[in-house]
């Protein structure tokens, strides 16, 4: 059995401990149930007894921790299972489904489109890594064609994927925030401005009388 280090114990617990959002069902057990639903009879019949299920439970949870698998990748893996596998996957097969071969150009085109849609809050990202890579390239993303910056794009995307896996970067796309008004362009009604000015003057007057 693979030895779990102290540093990864807390990450392992996120998989095997009860999860509040799943009504007390652990993430790894939720995955077991999802695979059982995708492969009725075939999945559960592969386990001779509860001990076999417990062994699967710990082995896969350890594998997810060691490989740094994210929940977004798990969802992608399940989606790929619906498409690719007629029979339940092994851990290695499921991991490949979680991380299919990366099409950098397709990811670049997604980034260009979704960054444009983000201005209106309509952006939808297939994976957070593409968003973070797009953020790193900034305005260059839409200023240059793919062939001109594909090296930078590939490096940015690889770095984002690795940063998410190691926990150095959030494994989610942040919610869009409305931009603040530019300096000098923020205005308030005249009556409100007068009230604020009067309050400031009153405060200054009181401070001076107390000295």
Q: Render pLDDT for 51-60 as a digit per residue (tens, 0 to 9).
A: 999 999 999 9
Residues 119 and 147 in one domain: yes
Confidence label for 184 from pLDDT (cuts 50, 70 and 90): low
Tell me the C-alpha distance between 158 and 196, whole Å.
51
Question: Structurally, how many domains does the chain consist of?
Answer: 2
Q: Which helix (H) or strand (E) holds 194?
A: helix 190-210
User: Looking at residue 57, what is its pLDDT?
Assistant: 96
Out of 48, 63, 98, pick the residue that ends a domain. 98
Residues 79 and 147 in one domain: no
Residues 86 and 59 in one domain: yes
Residues 88 and 115 in one domain: no
Q: Is residue 30 part of a domain?
A: yes
Residues 120 and 81 in one domain: no
Residues 62 and 79 in one domain: yes
Domain range enclosing 142: 104-165
Compute φ and ψ for 169, nearest 5 degrees. Answer: -140, 145
Residues 94 and 111 in one domain: no
Q: Is residue 52 part of a domain?
A: yes
Give per-residue pLDDT as tens, 186-196: 455 555 555 66
32 vs 188, residue with greater confidence: 32
Beta strands in the chain (DSSP E): 18-19, 25-26
Residues 59 and 110 in one domain: no
Q: Is residue 195 part of a domain?
A: no
Residues 13 and 69 in one domain: yes
């Amino acid at each position: 059995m693979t030895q779990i280090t102290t540093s990864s114990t807390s990450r392992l617990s996120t998989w095997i401990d009860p999860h509040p959002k799943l009504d007390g069902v652990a993430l790894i057990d939720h995955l077991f149930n999802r695979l059982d639903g995708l492969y009725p009879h075939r999945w559960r019949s592969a386990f001779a007894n509860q001990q076999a299920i417990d062994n699967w439970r710990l082995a896969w949870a350890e594998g997810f921790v060691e490989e740094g698998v994210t929940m977004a990748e798990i969802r992608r893996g399940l989606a790929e299972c619906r498409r690719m596998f007629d029979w339940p996957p092994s851990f290695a097969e499921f991991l490949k489904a979680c991380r299919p071969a990366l099409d950098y150009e397709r990811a670049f085109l997604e980034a260009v489109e979704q960054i444009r849609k983000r201005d209106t809050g309509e952006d939808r990202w297939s994976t957070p890594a593409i968003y973070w890579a797009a953020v790193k390239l900034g305005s260059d993303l839409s200023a240059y064609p793919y062939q001109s910056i594909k090296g930078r794009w590939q490096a940015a995307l690889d770095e984002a994927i690795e940063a998410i896996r190691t926990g150095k970067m959030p494994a989610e796309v942040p919610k869009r925030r409305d931009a603040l008004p530019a300096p000098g362009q923020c205005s308030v009604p005249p009556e409100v401005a007068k009230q604020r000015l009067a309050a400031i003057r009153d405060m200054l007057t009181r401070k001076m009388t107390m000295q």
